[in-house]
Amino acid sequence: MGTNKRKTYTPEYRREAAHLVIDTARAVAVVAREVGVGDQLLGRWVCAEGARMGLLWVWLTSRLHG
């Protein structure tokens, strides 16, 4: 039996993936498929990066659509 090891992502990768959503206003689901991560995971990264940047609209949008 193999061990299930979780994939880890660097903070830089998380920020870059989040900015694909923030900077282009593309849907989280679309970007998540493109970068190969789950919708919910990318959504959390977008919320975290938006909060770090002080972008209230990112938080509000994620709550309305996610």
Q: pLDDT tens for residues 41-60? A: 999 999 899 888 887 665 55
Of the candidates 7, 34, 57, the residue with the CA atom closest to the CA atom of residue 46:
57
Q: Is residue 43 part of a domain?
A: yes
- The answer to whether 22 touches 15, Cβ cutoff 8 Å, is no
How many separate domains does the chain show?
1
Q: How confident is the model at residue 62 (pLDDT cuts 50, 70, 90)?
A: low
Q: Is residue 37 part of a domain?
A: yes
User: Token pair 């493109």 is at which residue?
Assistant: 34
Structure tokens at 48: 């975290």
Which pLDDT does position 6 carry in this prediction? Answer: 84
pTM attached to this predicted model: 0.76
Q: Is residue 4 part of a domain?
A: no
Which pLDDT does position 42 carry in this prediction? Answer: 95
What are phi and psi for residue 23, nearest 5 degrees?
-75, -25
Give me the domain span that covers residue 49.
Answer: 11-65
Q: Is residue 1 part of a domain?
A: no
Detail the DSSP E strand segments found in 1-66. Answer: none
